[in-house]
Structure 1
Amino acid sequence: MTTRFDGRKVLVMHPNFPGQFRHLAPALKELGADIRALTLSQPPQGAPFSVTQVPLVRGHSPELDPWLQSLDSKLIRGRSAFPLLRQWRADGWVPELVIGHTGWGDMLGVSEVFPNAKVLGWFEFYYHATGLDLDFDPEFPPSEEDRLKTRLKNMWPLWMLEHVDQGVCPTYFQRDVHPAVYRPRLSVVHEGIDTQRFVPKEDIQVTLGEGLTLTRDDEVITFVNRDLEPYRGYHVFMRALPALLAQHPKAHVLMVGGDSVSYGAAAPAGTTWKQYFLNEVGHQLDPARVHFLGKVPHATLTALMQLSRAHVYLTYPFVLSWSLLEAMSCAAPIIGSNTAPVREVITHGENGLLVDFFDTEALTASLSYALRHPEAMQPLRQQARQTVIDRFDLHTQCLPQQLALVASLLASTA
């Protein structure tokens, strides 16, 4: 039986609300909580509770050391939220529980303004100068300055680890990169995948802008990321394409992602990572079969995952993308990198295929196998979807686990 939270005051904070709390916040409201949300961006329309936007109090000082800009951004967000928190306290609205994403800084003043409130914080990553993402790719070796700046990034996670009662990480890999002393207070609970929304669709058809209509009878390879960049293996994928497309003259490659940088270093001045590696191999590719779709609506992205005969997901040892689990829920055949975050959800030969991140020949061979043998990939497709249902389903797994954490913290305040 689900615990009710009638009248319990809960504050949810995210600079881009709802963020990770798209489902948790409405569920708390439905279970009777007196809930408010604080954001620094335009509030979403139709929220069933009050969502208040606060303005930024200032920008960066031009004299600020560049190494401090990230920390200063967090201080700006925290100071921007601080007056509203104090106003709510003065008005008599004092939350018993504050839920937020710890990486942005807006939660800076929570423990000061509401010292008796329990704090439940989402943690995504703890940075390491060696042994993880920063020095993973020998093509882009970090400098001593890069390593030092990376260590400085942990000033804020360490602050927040000391100011939460309970933390949440979406995967075990992400929990285990945090210092061992803090791991006992970090629960592993994913935000959740709606497996009734992300479903297989064998009769899917997708028409591209140039009038090309593709179905599951076509050899379609998909590659999906927020931005096309090395952290997500864009360079490795691009270098595998000439040989793959030569072996499969009817195959089409659909790439989703922007031209910016979400993670890691920027491309050389005057270019983007997309163009940089397109310059390297583009002359070997047929532009009529390699389609750069940019950023697409989520409904379009779902259709592409349903269409895919081979979905490629490569990543440094870093945060796992939601898109991989969404693709698995759609029963897309997965070819992933044999890196720790991917191994947590993909077992080679059971629910997908794994290849060495840097091995373009192995990637080409696995893709070719998936394209030529869709019937052999069928059991892996089914098991990929079952993995998400069993471990990451929003309604039967993740949301109930999140609500249980809320219930536990609120029970300790009664």
Structure 2
Amino acid sequence: MDILFIHQNMPAQFKNLAPALAASGKHRVVFVTRGKGTDIPGVRCVGYEAPRPANPTTHHYVRLYEASVRYGQQVARTLLQLKREGFVPTIVIGHPGWGEMMFVRDVFPRAVILSYAEFYYHGAGADVGFDPAQPADLDAVCRTRARNAHLLLSLDMADAGIAPTEWQRSRHPEIFQPRIRTIFDGVETNVVKPDPAARFRLPDGRTLSRQDEVVTYVARNLEPYRGYPSFIRALPAILRARPAAQVVITGGDQVSYGAPAPEGRSWREQMELEVPLSTGPFADRIHFTGKLPYANYLSLLRVSSVHTYLTVPFVLSWSFIEAMATGCVMVASDTAPVLEFLEPGINGHLVPFHDPAAIADRIIAALADRGDHLRLRKAARATAVGRCALSVCLPRQMQLVEQLTGVTI
């Protein structure tokens, strides 16, 4: 059969499923993406040019919808060309988040459509208005509702959906939830695993090992959605209480989610104004690595004494499960969807997202209680392996494709 993937940042969540469906050689697999894409064995990449952005004069509630329509239109043109070439997919698997899936049904009316149901926006009960210091006003709530317009069109068109966590599935309208399956993306736990002999080289050339006291924090970008301000505010107390501790902070200075910092600053620069750590007495114990190559990132997790993961109620980071898979001692926010995976005192510790003092106290206590580390590390890895290993998740994804198409992979 012909199989089509659509995602503007290939391969994204389909980095394992796409090559797995192509592996037998029995099926033609095409991946439509923005730009050049990447090489996947057995998968043909078809790129499209990014469309013009939405008009800045468009009403701000509708600007995202306009941008999504432009993306959907650009993808539809690409699909028409594939159709002319004789490629007619039995199943289309894609992410609706940027509008790319909006017109798939109009080009391929008989295709089975499997939509990646990552997130559905709400004006309350999730990320919007979560910070008590920044309550959502009516304008923000209305704008948030309007953000779902292109997602609703894609949901209505889809035969089935796939969500990585139960909480993310539950955020979608009830009428659509029965057709959404909860299957995590999958982590290669045979690669993402502990290594007691691991070493991590700091930017200043020093090397850390499991014998050192290392507090780690990882996010794609250092920003409020991933609790960066709360973590930074907790550091002075941690470093005063633990004079041997080294803190390694990994992430970029862009914004993945939410609002940018004031006056064109990065959130790292903004927090430095509030908590000036780079010039204070702890400067030589706080290390910013920027974004790391994957192998280096795994080495960092492997030498971690305590790993901190904070998030507003939003999509779960792969790094959270990867940290558990490497056997980190986890200190994580008591927010969804973290609560699906972390049981306090069993496989990690929970802390209130907005309370730097409580975060500091929990990290200090975890660093002091090294006798409990082995138990927590084993339990964290067992959770990741049992529920999120690629060997568990990929067969479930493949089985779903077979059920939807009636074709044996």
Scaled by the length of structure 2, the TM-score of the pair is: 0.95
Q: Distance in 2 between matches of 1:258 and 1:191?
A: 23
1:392 and 2:388 correspond? yes
1:338 and 2:331 correspond? no
Q: Tell me the residue number matched to 1:289.
A: 285
Q: Tell me the residue number matched to 1:359.
A: 355
Q: Distance in 1 between matches of 2:56 and 2:212?
A: 54
Q: Which residue identity does 2:171 align to in structure 1?
A: V
Structure 1: which 5+ runs fail to align?
1-7
Q: How far does residue 270 in structure 1 lie from its aligned partner after superposition?
A: 3.0
Structure 2: which 5+ runs fail to align?
none
Q: Tell me the residue number matched to 2:343.
A: 347
Q: Distance in 2 between matches of 1:78 and 1:272?
A: 32
Equivalent position SS for 2:30: strand
Q: Is the 8 A contact 2:164 2:184 kept in 1?
A: yes
Q: Is the 8 A contact 1:337 1:357 kept in 2?
A: yes
Q: Tell me the residue number matched to 2:6.
A: 13
Q: Tell me the residue number matched to 2:244.
A: 250
Aligned to 2:184, which of 186, 190, 194? 190
Q: Is the 8 A contact 1:39 1:51 kept in 2?
A: yes
Q: Distance in 1 between matches of 2:294 and 2:67?
A: 29
Q: Tell me the residue number matched to 1:23.
A: 16
Q: How far does residue 287 in structure 1 lie from its aligned partner after superposition?
A: 1.4
Q: How far does residue 57 in structure 1 lie from its aligned partner after superposition?
A: 4.3
Q: Is the 8 A contact 1:10 1:95 kept in 2?
A: yes
Q: Distance in 2 between matches of 1:220 and 1:35?
A: 44
Q: Distance in 2 between matches of 1:91 and 1:335?
A: 52
Q: How far does residue 354 in structure 1 lie from its aligned partner after superposition?
A: 0.6
Q: Is the 8 A contact 2:102 2:150 kept in 1?
A: no
Q: Is the 8 A contact 1:14 1:101 kept in 2?
A: yes
Q: Tell me the residue number matched to 2:235.
A: 241
Percent identity of equivalent pairs: 39
Q: Tell me the residue number matched to 1:5.
A: none
The C-alpha deviation readout for 1:8-51, integer Å capped at 9, x for no partner, is 11111111111111110111111322211111122213532211
Q: Which residue identity does 1:263 align to in structure 2?
A: Y
- The alignment covers a number of residue pairs equal to 405
Q: Is the 8 A contact 2:121 2:144 kept in 1?
A: yes
Q: How far does residue 66 in structure 1 lie from its aligned partner after superposition?
A: 3.6
Q: Tell me the residue number matched to 1:65.
A: 59
The C-alpha deviation readout for 1:172-196, integer Å capped at 9, x for no partner, is 0101111111110010001101001
RMSD (Å), alpha carbons: 1.6
Q: Distance in 2 between matches of 1:251 and 1:365?
A: 14
Q: Is the 8 A contact 2:35 2:50 kept in 1?
A: no
Q: Which residue identity does 1:318 align to in structure 2?
A: F
Aligned to 2:262, which of 262, 268, 271? 268
1:279 and 2:273 correspond? yes
1:76 and 2:61 correspond? no
Q: Distance in 1 between matches of 2:141 and 2:227?
A: 21
Q: Tell me the residue number matched to 2:46.
A: 52
Q: Distance in 2 between matches of 1:88 and 1:229?
A: 40
Equivalent position SS for 1:282: coil
Q: Tell me the residue number matched to 1:120.
A: 114
Q: Which residue identity does 1:392 align to in structure 2?
A: C
Q: Distance in 2 between matches of 1:209 and 1:357?
A: 29
Q: Which residue identity does 2:255 align to in structure 1?
A: V
Q: Is the 8 A contact 2:61 2:147 kept in 1?
A: no
Q: Which residue identity does 2:21 align to in structure 1?
A: L
Q: Tell me the residue number matched to 1:406.
A: 401
Q: Is the 8 A contact 2:61 2:142 kept in 1?
A: no
Q: Which moved more, 1:403-412 or 1:217-226?
A: 403-412
Q: Is the 8 A contact 1:241 1:285 kept in 2?
A: no
Q: Is the 8 A contact 1:119 1:166 kept in 2?
A: yes
Equivalent position SS for 2:284: coil
1:88 and 2:72 correspond? no
The C-alpha deviation readout for 1:204-245, integer Å capped at 9, x for no partner, is 111112121111111100000011111111111111111110
Q: How far does residue 63 in structure 1 lie from its aligned partner after superposition?
A: 3.4
Q: Distance in 2 between matches of 1:126 and 1:58?
A: 25
Q: Tell me the residue number matched to 2:168.
A: 174
Q: Which moved more, 1:168-177 or 1:277-286?
A: 277-286
Q: How far does residue 371 in structure 1 lie from its aligned partner after superposition?
A: 1.4
Mark the CA change 1:62 to 1:142 in structure 2 (over 3 Å): closer, same or farther. Answer: closer
Q: Which moved more, 1:94-103 or 1:162-171?
A: 94-103
Q: Tell me the residue number matched to 2:314.
A: 318
Q: How far does residue 68 in structure 1 lie from its aligned partner after superposition?
A: 2.7
Equivalent position SS for 2:251: strand
Q: Which residue identity does 1:286 align to in structure 2?
A: F
Mark the CA change 1:411 to 1:128 in structure 2 (over 3 Å): closer, same or farther. Answer: same
